């Protein structure tokens, strides 16, 4: 049975609208571009959630003159559920990471288990540096030690959030705002 997205929207608050998110992404790009000046980082989009944010951030970085080498990965712990399980790799990047600077781009840093595992894999592949750009960071103290967004767009409450890449039971990723369920 598919969860009811319209019912979820009726029981949710808009946390950040599209204008706020787009401004946050522009601000992030202005912080990221100088950090990679003279370099061409491997820009790894974490699928599926990171896709809308990563595309917009990439365009902002391009406008600032930063060239990126695109690749993606698909690793999940949720598979449509609301709590995570064992990490499942659906696609690993094909780009060699040996000696490269890597920018992981994802929709949210929640508790960080998935990002910790992905970052560790990048390091195992020989990445010289791995940084994380996240559109949203959930406000709580349960994050895996050492996992944080090097570049952050917005904070979101410690509630079930969806939209702008984040899903409500595999729905609503393309909503142009971030919503948080009430109660």
**CA 58 to chain CA mean position, Å:** 13
The CB-based long-range contact list for 77-83 (8 Å cut-off, 24+ gap) reads: 77/113, 77/114, 80/167, 80/169, 80/170, 82/160
Phi, psi of 44, rounded to the nearest 5 degrees: -100, 110
Round to whole Å and give the CA distance between 9 and 95: 39
Tell me if residue 110 is catalytic: yes
Catalytic residue among 67, 106, 107, 110: 110
The catalytic site residues sit at 110
């Amino acid at each position: 049975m598919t969860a009811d997205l319209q019912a979820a929207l009726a029981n949710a608050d808009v946390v950040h609208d599209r204008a706020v998110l787009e401004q946050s992404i522009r601000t992030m790009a202005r912080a990221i571009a100088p950090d990679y000046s003279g370099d061409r980082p491997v820009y790894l989009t974490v699928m599926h959630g990171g896709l809308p944010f990563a595309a917009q951030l990439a365009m902002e970085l391009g406008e600032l003159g930063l060239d990126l080498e695109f690749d993606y990965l698909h690793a999940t712990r949720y598979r449509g559920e609301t709590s995570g399980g064992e990490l499942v790799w659906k696609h690993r990047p094909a780009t060699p990471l040996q000696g490269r600077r890597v920018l992981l781009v994802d929709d949210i840093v929640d508790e960080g288990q998935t990002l910790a595992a992905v970052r560790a894999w990048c390091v195992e592949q020989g990445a010289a540096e791995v940084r994380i750009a996240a559109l949203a960071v959930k406000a709580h103290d349960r994050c895996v030690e050492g996992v944080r967004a090097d570049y952050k767009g917005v904070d979101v409450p410690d509630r079930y959030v969806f939209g702008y890449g984040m899903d409500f039971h595999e729905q609503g990723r393309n909503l142009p705002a971030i919503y948080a369920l009430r109660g």
